[in-house]
Amino acid sequence: MLPRLVPITDMKRQPGKILGELRQDRELMVITEHGKAAGVLMDVASYETLARRAMILEGLSEGERDLAGGRVHAWDEIKADLASWRL
């Protein structure tokens, strides 16, 4: 589904209405200025989901870089470290 296009003038004239629709529909909105995309608006829940996914992907990417660089630890070593953290 294509994102909804919202002219900046609509945002200026009816911000409450636009935000209400955004919260209800939870669909991405592209704010346009002079007919061209100028920004993106999304509800907070969708943003938080997107941010969590980005963090997970970054963690996986970091793990792949560590593996490629030989920065790894044996499972027994990790288990021992974790056991020392227990109360």
Q: Summarize the confidence of residues 47-73 as an average pLDDT.
A: 95
Split into its structural domains, the chain has a count of 2
pLDDT computed for residue 17 by the predictor: 96
- Please report whether residue 86 resides in a domain: no
Taking only the tens place, the pLDDT of each residue in 4-30 is 999 999 999 999 999 999 999 999 999
Q: Which residue range forms the structural domain that includes residue 71?
A: 45-78
Considering the domain architecture, whether residues 51 and 38 belong to the same structural domain is answered as: no
pLDDT computed for residue 87 by the predictor: 59
CATH code of the domain containing 29: 3.40.1620.10
Q: Which of 3, 7, 1 is nearest to 38 (CA)?
A: 7
pLDDT computed for residue 85 by the predictor: 84
| Cross-strand pairs, 52 | none
- Please report whether residue 84 resides in a domain: no
- Please report whether residue 8 resides in a domain: yes
pLDDT computed for residue 1 by the predictor: 73
- Please report whether residue 25 resides in a domain: yes
Cα distances (Å, whole numbers) of residue 26 to 42, 53, 59, 66: 7, 17, 27, 37
Q: What does pTM read for this prediction? A: 0.70
